Amino acid sequence: MSNEPQFLSFKGLKSYSPQEGWGQVNDIVQNHVRSQDGKKPSAAAHQPSPEIPTLTETPEQTQGQDPTQMFDPLITELFDQLRSPPTDELTQTWRTIAAEVNLLTQRMALHRELTDRLEKLDTDIAGLRSTILHHLQEVQQAADQQLTSARLRAEVSALAQSKLSAKLKNSP
């Protein structure tokens, strides 16, 4: 490997150095090359090297290049693996597992939703029970009050009847 710093560069990528401030990555690479060579870079030196892939290139743009000219053989191998679909027997098993995990996630979300709804229903039922019991107590109190009033009227009525009948019997 060379002693030069290697970058994946693309348009707009900036780097900060305390001596120079913010600058384009390509400018920093060229300054480094200039300091090592002692030469002034040309206008073409501001362009990224064609053998260094940039992040904005698509695989179709880089396919025409020889893989040995790529930036790093490990990156080339990684890109090749990403482009080729997996062909082993575990692929279908992993797809099945992924589908089952998705289904499990959906069912767990539904379970949480139903549990929340059940808790809300339990709270509503408990509230309705207490409201009904409160109304029954009010009805019982009103019935007790009416019963007490009816007893008092019956007693007053019985007392008035006995006084009146005694008075009627004693009068000539």
Query: Which pTM value belongs to this model?
Result: 0.39
Contact 22, 66 (CB under 8 A): no
Measured distance CA(24)–CA(27) in Å, rounded: 5
Q: If DSSP codes are grouped into helix, strand and coil, which group holds residue 99?
A: helix
* In the chain, domain spans: 14-83
Q: What is the pLDDT along the chain (172 residues), one digit of tens a residue?
A: 445 455 555 556 677 777 777 776 666 556 655 666 655 545 444 455 555 555 555 555 555 555 445 567 778 877 777 777 666 777 788 888 889 999 999 999 999 999 999 999 999 999 999 999 999 999 999 999 999 999 999 999 999 999 988 888 887 6
